[in-house]
Amino acid sequence: MAALIRAVGDWDLAEEAVQDAFATAAERWPREGVPRDPAAWVIAVARNRAIDRLRRERALRARAPQLAAQIADREEPTLE
């Protein structure tokens, strides 16, 4: 957990990513078998999930002004 917090810089994001990784493990491991190094697997999956979320948030922030402008262009002015 500490390594993931250092990697992503966000305690809550790291915690959510680890929880998601454990949920994925609970789903996959009974079907596919436990990996050779379960701790490394959980850390890698959690890190990837956290990085994916950071990328999605960064992309949304970059596109937010453009999306807001598109929404504003579609709105009809009110006569009040």
Q: Alpha-carbon distance 43 to 4, whole Å?
A: 7
Summarize pLDDT for 25-78 with one digit per residue, the tens.
999 999 999 999 999 999 999 999 999 999 998 888 888 888 777 787 776 555
The structural domains of the chain, with segments of one domain joined by +, span: 2-74
- Backbone angles phi and psi of 12, in degrees to 5: -65, -45
| pLDDT higher than 80, residue 7 | yes
| pLDDT higher than 80, residue 4 | yes
What's the pLDDT band for 79 if we cut at 50, 70, 90? low
Q: Alpha-carbon distance 68 to 73, whole Å?
A: 9
The pLDDT of residue 78 = 58
